[in-house]
Amino acid sequence: MAARRAALALLDAVLRRGEPMDRAVHAACQRLPSDDRALAIAIAGDTLRWLDPLDALIDSATEQRLPDDSKVRAVLRTALVQLLHMGVAPHAVVATSLAALVGGPRRLAHAILSRAQRDGWTLPLPPPLPAPVAARWGAAWGASVVAAAELTWAEPPPLDLRFKSEQAASEFDDGERFAPQHRRLARAGRIEMLPGYAEGNWWVQDLAAGIAADLLGPGNGHTVLDLCAAPGGKTMQLAAAGWQITAIDSSSKRLERLRENLARTGLDAELAVADLRSYTPSQPVDAILLDAPCSATGTFRRHPDVLHRITDADIASLAQLQAELLARAARWVKPGGLLVYATCSLEPAEGEEIIRGFLANNQGWRINPAQSGEVPAGVAIATEGWVRTLPASKPVLDGFFIARLTAP
Ligand SMILES: C[S@@+](CC[C@H](N)C(=O)[O-])C[C@H]1O[C@@H](n2cnc3c(N)ncnc32)[C@H](O)[C@@H]1O
């Protein structure tokens, strides 16, 4: 019962308040045992994946449309997804779901759940993307990428581990290797139980997320500003590659997680809390990694809430911030130095368009094209020299945009 209640609270946070689900989990699942917490996240996640088909079924069974934010619609969404997709026994779904309702709404929900069983309702497989996202990605990338995105978000995503060194990776027996210092596991249980976690031999990092720091190559003690660094997957990569790092983020809470990650892995970086819009470093650096704040729509497999929360207006205002941060960061690189710009977004406005705009306004800067040996096998390099990963990529990975630039 507690897990179902928490799932309703998560959906309310995402759909009504527009909060990221990760953040809502802290409040909604704080006191739950880990099994209940996992169940609440699974129910909420699958409800978000199938939201439109669930609503269509609910609407087909009611004469008057139930308000989008009504409790009875919320309960029916979560009950139906358990019944029709998650394989939860009907009596358990009915008992645990109806308890959240009283009176007329309870009778209505009971009637609809009975009808779902009697009429053999089903949910489409794979689940369709929300209509505005399908239209946006269809226009940007084509129908085949929309179809691939739908297939990938129906599957539990694999777990990618990034190792401190090839030596540490070679001691890990399990998983597939798609890049140096990488292993992919089909799906793990609790990551703390995997070998090498306590020793700090690896951290969890999507294969695509590893590309940005890899494009800076070995550090050999050179200086790098790691901008928007927390929680630090890329900081740890840079530290393991021998860079002398100053890692900056505006969130002290997230930097605290970065500090913990560095302590666990025994890696080193100088940390600073600062808003890049007002920060200026004391001296220029050899390289910059700017992992800019973005819509994160490229992480939709793990975070289905992004596709319901992010609006065109959000994308436009993030793009403005990204252009501003890139223009500032570019002033801090030594002549001939490198700047890698990355976003985990599938929106061209947060990737290709930012770099085109930057190059148009900053004479002398040029793209330093990624080379095939620098990215995981199967990842395509665009003719412009940047890297764009899409849901249709094989191996499957997050949607990222990464460009390496050389300063004049
Ligand atoms: C995409 S995440 C960074 C992920 C990180 N690079 C990693 O590999 O783990 C973006 C980060 O930008 C930070 N951020 C957002 N706006 C910022 C600003 N104006 N100045 C500095 N950091 C900012 C956020 O706190 C967030 O941690």
The DSSP string of 106-143 is HHHHHHHHHHHHHTT----SSPPPPHHHHHHHHHHH-H
Give residue 190's pLDDT: 81
Ligand 1 centroid from CA 394, angstroms = 28
**Ligand 1 atom, smallest distance to 234 CA:** 8
Contacts of 178 (CB under 8 A, 6+ apart): 184, 207, 376, 377, 378, 395
CB 298 less than 6 A from any atom of ligand 1? no
C-beta of 369 in contact with ligand 1 (< 6 A): no
Instruction: Check if 276 has its Cβ closer than 6 Å to any atom of ligand 1.
Output: yes
Closest C-alpha to ligand 1, atom 10? 293
Distance CA 382, CA 388 (A): 7
Regarding the beta carbon of 230 and ligand 1, being less than 6 Å apart is answered yes
Contact 94, 71 (CB under 8 A): no
Catalytic residues: 344
- The per-residue pLDDT for 253 is 95
- Please name which of 305, 296, 258 lies closest in space to residue 17, comparing C-alpha atoms: 305
Could you tell me the distance, in angstroms and rounded to a whole number, from the CA of residue 259 to the centre of ligand 1? 14
Query: What six digits make up the tokens of 48?
Result: 């978000």
The verdict on pTM exceeding 0.85 is yes
Per-residue pLDDT, 403: 98
204 backbone dihedrals φ, ψ, rounded to 5°: -80, 125
Out of 206, 211, 249, 321, give the residue to mutate to test ligand 1, the one with the largest number of ligand atoms within 8 Å of its CB: 249
Q: How far is the CA of 255 from the centre of ligand 1 (A)?
A: 9
- pLDDT, one tens digit per residue, over 9-24 is 999 999 999 999 999 9
Residue 234 beta carbon below 6 angstroms from any ligand 1 atom? yes
**CA 249 – ligand 1 centroid, Å:** 5
For β-strands 202-204 and 159-163, DSSP reports them as antiparallel
Can you tell me which residue has the tokens 């026994």? 89
Beta-sheet pairing, 244-249 with 366-367: unpaired
211, 375 contact by CB (below 8 A): yes
What proportions of the chain, in percent to the nearest 5, are helix, strand and coil?
45, 15, 40
Q: What are phi and psi of 82, to 5 degrees?
A: -65, -40
- Establish whether residue 250 lines the binding site of ligand 1, counting it when its CB lies within 6 angstroms of any ligand atom: yes
Place of tokens 């289905």: 304
Tokens 């369709």 locate to 128
Given the structure tokens 């700047």, which residue do they identify? 339
Atom of ligand 1 at shortest range from CA of 232: 9
- Cα distance between residue 44 and residue 58, in whole Å: 17
How do residues 36-48 score in pLDDT, each as one tens digit? 999 999 999 999 9
In this prediction, the residues of the chain whose per-residue pLDDT falls under 70 are: 188
Q: Residue 138 is encoded by which pair of tokens?
A: 């269809």
Specify the amino acid at residue 22: D
